[in-house]
Structure 1
Amino acid sequence: MQWNNEKGFSLVEVIAAFVLISIILISFFTLFFKGRETTVESKKTVDATYTAQQEMESIYAEVQQKNKTGSASMENILSTLHYHQMKSCTNPPTIYTNDRKYKNEVVVVEVFKNEKIGTLRNVMVSVYDKRKVVDPCQPKVNPKAQMENIMRAGD
């Protein structure tokens, strides 16, 4: 008996369909994984920006309080906030760090004397990943977040 009425898929057609479906699924999975990676990095950046803002606000509040009492030197203000000056750093700027306050971040505060007005200080708060910074004086990586402000504090 002859079978001329064969219906179904050949092995080549099944393999071709499997390859096409695999390519489509790999594309979608790559898209999902990259999206997840971008979300994680964005969260880290937002957290670091919040840390920088929080530190800048605490420095500003301390400057305002010390200005009222007349004892507003940046060294006193930052030591009150548990920053310690990096002795190995060259001036300018004067660099302070607080690497104990946050678990995965190093907060570095750089203080520059304003060139135009002597009682103003440019204060830059930078937040680095603790695992990537070996020496806060010479960070080899870009900060996760950075903020700068000008404050009146006499030294």
Structure 2
Amino acid sequence: MDHLYTNEEGRTLIEILVSIVIISIVVIPFLSVFIQTTKSINHSDTILDATYFAQTHMEDIHNISETYTFDEAISFLNTDSKYSLISNNETSYNILIETDKYFGEIEIQKVNDSNLTQIVISIYEDNSKNKLEAKMENYVTWES
């Protein structure tokens, strides 16, 4: 019976703890890289979505500029349900866009006495306008 206890090739508790510590030292830096990568991907997705949202509205305004005169376009945007005219004067108009995900502001400003108009679209996280997600600027000419 004594020969059963003479062959003790098991691992001690110290050896197991040391191996766990070594594995932890190797694995923990990789985990922080994965976490940072996930945060970067989520932030990039937000920026891409906001830019796409701005691009869509910029294309809408460009299409409107090819169809309507400037005054007709402002009237059209004022009656469209996805836009809300908030301020205007002879040469400058501010229009709001609001969805479940984003809050946007479109600034339309005539350039001197020409047919050229500056369009600036700013997309925010919410209507507090604390965090700008995307901004797009373009110049368009209007149908005469």
Q: Please confirm whether the aligned pair reaches a TM-score higher than 0.5, indicating the same fold.
A: yes
Are positions 1:113 and 2:113 aligned together? no
Structure 2 Cα separation of the partners of residues 25 and 153 of structure 1: 60
Q: What does the per-residue CA deviation read over 1:38-90, in whole Å, with 9 as the maximum and x for residues that have no partner?
A: 112212211111111111111111111113xxxx2252242244321224x99
Q: Distance in 2 between matches of 1:45 and 1:36?
A: 14
- Which ranges of structure 1 fall in alignment gaps of 5 or more residues? none
Which amino acid in structure 2 is aligned with residue 120 of structure 1? Answer: L
Structure with the largest fraction of helix: 2
CA root-mean-square deviation:
3.1
- Return the index of the structure with the highest Cα Rg: 2
1:123 to 108, 119, 135: 119
Percent identity, aligned pairs only, is: 25
The CA distance in 2 between the partners of 1:91 and 1:18, in whole Å, is 73
1:68-79 to 2 correspondences below 5 Å: 72-73=70-71, 74-79=73-78
TM-score (norm 2): 0.75
Per the alignment, residue 84 of structure 2 pairs with 84
Q: Report the counterpart of residue 39 of structure 1 in structure 2.
A: 41
CA separation in 1, counterparts of 2:44 and 2:17?
40
Scaled by the length of structure 1, what TM-score is found? 0.71
Quote the residue 2:22 is aligned against. 20
Cα distance between partner residues in 1 of 2:111 and 2:44: 33
Following superposition, the deviation at residue 7 of structure 1 comes to 5.7
Q: Is the 8 A contact 1:63 1:77 kept in 2?
A: no
What CA deviation, in whole Å up to 9, does each residue of 1:121-147 have, x standing for no partner?
1001121112xx32xxxx3322x1221
* 4+ runs deviating over 6 angstroms: 89-92
1:140 partner amino acid:
N
Aligned length: 138
Give the structure with the larger strand fraction: 2
Instruction: Tell me the residue number matched to 1:150.
Output: 139
